[in-house]
Structure 1
Amino acid sequence: MPVDTHDGDARRPPFNAAAARRLREALGMTHAHVAYGIWAAYGMRLEPAVVASWELGESAPTEAELTALAGALWCAPAELLGTPGTLREFRLALGLAAADLALRVGMDQAGYERLEAGGRWSGTDRQAAALAAELRLPLPALIRFTGQEERLTELLTSAATTRWQGYVRPVGKLAPLPKERLQQTLQELHEEYHATMTASLSWTGGDASDEAGKAGRDFLDSIVAEFWRRVGEPTS
């Protein structure tokens, strides 16, 4: 699915050009119809050629233009974005302005915009819950956006390499999932890590300890993604 991300221009969100064309054609609209709809409803004067260039992936709409385009095409902004990956994309997918979201979450707008730009989370647990509710964030995204993924990595690494039983409660505080599911997942990660190390050490030829160390590091490097997969929480 073609997606034009236009990296480097903070005003232009990732844009699904093919979806825009498909939605327009399904409505029986021309580029001129879309341009007129954007002007009539949002007061933005655009040439039909601009709409055509968006669909060709030659350029992409700004945040305001994306919202207007979604309105002209009678669709949600999310349909023009694809699967959101960043905090900003989750917000744009719901057609929310940064100021409105900050107000709903109980943050000042400047603080929220710094967070969107990659700043560190400094909010409260209550604000985190409000952010998750307003943006309909999956648990992996909430943990990533609130700066807790590094801590989760540390806990999962310790659970896999030492005694997993002692990490059920700490992991559960970060990822409030059913205790039985957490226990099963941590036990599986622990067993798989040690099985990987044992298998690597049993190889003949070369330096077995080096091979085991590399296999173990590779396993731990992907442990967070593997954790989410095993507990059934989508990461994208």
Structure 2
Amino acid sequence: MHRSTAQPNHPGPPFNAPAARRLRAGLGMGPEHVAYGLRASYGLPYVTPDLVIAWERGALTPTSPELTALAGVLWCSPGELIGRPRTLREHRIARGLAPEDVARALGHDLDSYLRMEDTGQWRGSDRQAAALADVLELALPDLVTVTGREARLAELLRSAVATRWQGQVRPLGRIVPLDRGRLEHALQTLHQEYQGQMVATLSWGGGNAADDSRDAGREYLDRIVEHFWAAVEGGSTYR
């Protein structure tokens, strides 16, 4: 199961091992057939049946080039072999796009784009973010994540539910391109949920009521971004 030192050293995306095993079985192929296809058609001479089995058992994860080649052998899209993508590279691979294609769509040179993938730091404008969402078919939550704005989003949301949510509408609007009315509705919903939960916990009484309230509030705030997207309910539209 050792890989050749000539193998590209690109970090692999989250691999859906059960899907790979299921797709192979559905085609009536054995691990040896997959290994042969990867060697003969995709120039991966080091791939053996044992390596294919290790991928399918989750003992090893294929690199990005290996996963793309494996999708070709299994007659599926790379996205079918990937768990839920989180990073810019993972979303690109899931769409089966070369980095050159995405860089061209954004108006970036290839080296600059690849640096963004490698560092996880988005260096594009709002116009380029919109182009990224288009070329990678990103939902708004995924766009916020891959452009590195999720931490700031969480910070503003925590402030909104703990104080006056109205004061956070404008700064949040610069991060999340939602219709203002939809954004206000989501913030008001979160504020009511959080404040209502804190009051309800304190009303339980008992000597530990304050501690219970803090724990409940902390748990809610830890999942504030998740609560926000639930409040938006998938009805978001880009401005």
Separation of aligned partners in 2, 1:53 and 1:165: 53
Cα deviations across residues 127-159 of structure 1 (Å, max 9, x unaligned)?
211221121122112112222223322332232
1 CA distance for matches of 2:86 and 2:155?
Answer: 23
Change (3 A) 1:12 1:159: closer
Whether 2:102 is the aligned partner of 1:105: answer no
- Give the Å deviation of 1:75: 0.4
Mapped to 2, the partners of 1:49 and 1:213 lie a distance apart of 51
Correspondence list, 1:26-37, <5 A: 26-37=26-37
Contact 2:92 2:136 survives alignment (8 Å): yes
Give the Cα separation in 1 of the matches to 2:17 and 2:198: 46
Aligned 1:67-216 pairs, distance under 5 A? 67-206=68-207, 208-216=209-217
Alignment pair present for 1:230 and 2:231: yes
Aligned partner letter, 1:62: T
State the AA in 2 paired with 1:19.
Answer: A
Tell me: CA distance 1:33–1:183, structure 2 relative to 1, closer, same or farther (3 Å): same
Q: Which residue of 1 aligns with 2:20?
A: 20
Q: What CA distance in whole angstroms lies between the structure 2 residues aligned with 1:53 and 1:211?
A: 46
What's the counterpart of residue 3 of structure 1? none
Shift of 1:77: 0.6
In 1: Cα distance, 2:37 partner to 2:25 partner: 15
Q: Is the 8 A contact 1:140 1:233 kept in 2?
A: no
SS of alignment partner, residue 117 of structure 1: helix
Query: Deviation at 1:23?
Result: 1.0
Q: Aligned in 2, Cα 1:15/1:197: closer, same or farther, shift over 3 Å?
A: closer
Residue type at the aligned position of 2:139: P
**Structure 2 unaligned runs (5+)?**
1-8
| Cα root mean square deviation, aligned | 2.6
CA–CA distance in structure 1, aligned partners of residues 67 and 214 of structure 2: 48
- TM-score by length of structure 1 reads 0.81
Q: Distance in 1 between matches of 2:144 and 2:82?
A: 22
Conserved? CA contact 2:15–2:82, under 8 Å:
yes
How far the C-alpha of 1:229 sits from its partner, in A, is 1.3
Q: Distance in 2 between matches of 1:35 and 1:23?
A: 14
Aligned residue in 1 for 2:4: none
Deviates more, 1:62-71 or 1:204-213: 204-213
Structure 1 residue 192, shift from structure 2 partner: 1.8
* Pairing 1:50–2:74 present: no
Say whether the 8 Å CA contact 1:101–1:134 is kept in structure 2. Answer: yes
The 1-side partners of 2:168 and 2:59 are apart by: 50
Deviations 1:192-213 (A, max 9, x none): 2222232343343336555544
Moved over 4 A (4+): 207-211
Count matched residues.
226
Structure 1 residues 77, 119: closer, same or farther in 2, change over 3 A?
closer
The residue aligned with 1:4 is none
Q: Which amino acid aligns with 2:207?
A: G
* Structure 1: distance between partners of 2:57 and 2:82: 15
**What is the identity percentage for the equivalent residue pairs of Structure 1 and Structure 2?**
55
